[in-house]
Structure 1
């Protein structure tokens, strides 16, 4: 997969950047994939790439419902969620950063570019994930945890979380002034519906057709060139 644009192409200039969390900043998706697969296997089912594509980027309760329905598991979404959280939380305490994530966050902070996080996680799960990365996540203006935030009425692919996140910047920029960085098709759809440009760093198992809405598609955050969106270039 290559950068999906000519090297000299310039997109609409932005002033603020909103980061997704799972699979974009933190290497959590491999943990989630294993937990979902293990639960499915115990019931003689398979957690396919197609089902995973529907789950990625959703809130935990919605993801549990999709998993149960798609795989026809003999359990309620609530029971699936309990089993999932018990297994996942053990590994999330020590989750690592994705390639290029720390450099990019620190770069934007140094250059005084307003940055925030918009994650489908609930606040309790978010706290577990960032436990060993508090200094880095303290650099963000704010974090919107869609799973528990009362202002986020509907999760991704609805645009709510990104619109709420934009409003909470001190200067409340217009949607078109915000650039979203995402890894999941549901997140890309949400950003587009919010009227924002979106750079996608998709999981390798995500089908090509599920990446079409992205403004720009990359293999890794290490490939990202902020100047293409009018932001200060990496040094």
Structure 2
């Protein structure tokens, strides 16, 4: 897809891209680990960003051993995250409303491709006031292989009825960018907790500071649709 190609659909990651939720998820991991008597360093928690839940479980076992109380840990994280969200800590990222309004104006279909569960996805979108603003949602529960595999993005493009090369993906995580690229979808990185790397610069079409920048880039490419 060249720079001049119009965009017929947009596929969003959710955590760290639409929602300022990655920091909350990390905080919840630390809280749950502390309650079980384990130290969860920030860099270890950060390494799980963008990973499917099954891979996160593998990483914990690899780091803390087979005797680690895995179920209690992730149940505790879910409880802590739920509490943080209920306390009003979940917010949208800069530029979300502006970008979605632009897509509404041009009647551009959009989907979410996320590594979160369907329950968490639906609940967090509703809490953030974004429920009903997407034509399709592909959660980790809806695919057999999560990011960095291409399946989440291919499934989202199919659900929108748009060829992958006519879509634009928006991501903040390394695995999400790898997944979109593997699906043949042009991807823009909007960094959250993970900084751009040489690999990400190679795989992405562009790296921008916020979704406001994405809206500015998209506007002239939607008017011809």
- TM-score band, normalised by shorter chain: 0.7 to 0.9
Does the 8 A contact of 1:18 with 1:180 survive in 2? yes
Give the alignment of 1:20-39 within 5 angstroms: 20-39=13-32
Partner of 1:202: 191
Secondary structure of the residue aligned to 1:31 is helix
Partner of 2:92: 97
* Superposition CA RMSD, Å: 2.5
Superposed CA deviations along residues 50-108 of structure 1, whole A, max 9, x for unmatched, are: x4454111223322332442455851433322121111111234311100011101210
Secondary structure of the residue aligned to 2:156 is helix
Is residue 119 of structure 1 aligned with residue 108 of structure 2? no
Pair 32,209 (structure 1): closer, same or farther in 2 beyond 3 Å: farther
Q: TM-score, normalised by structure 2?
A: 0.85
Does the 8 A contact of 2:29 with 2:40 survive in 1? no
**Residue 222 (structure 1) aligned to one of 212, 215, 219:** 212
Pair 106,57 (structure 1): closer, same or farther in 2 beyond 3 Å: same
Quick one: distance in 2 between partners of 1:52 and 1:221? 25
Q: TM-score, normalised by structure 1?
A: 0.82
- Give the unaligned 5+ runs of structure 2: none
Partner of 1:56: 49
What stretches of structure 1 move > 6 A for 4+ residues in a row? none
Partner of 2:180: 191
106-115 or 62-71: bigger deviation: 62-71
Secondary structure of the residue aligned to 2:42 is coil
Aligned length: 217
Q: Which has the higher helix share?
A: 2
- Give the unaligned 5+ runs of structure 1: 1-8
Quick one: distance in 1 between partners of 2:138 and 2:65? 32
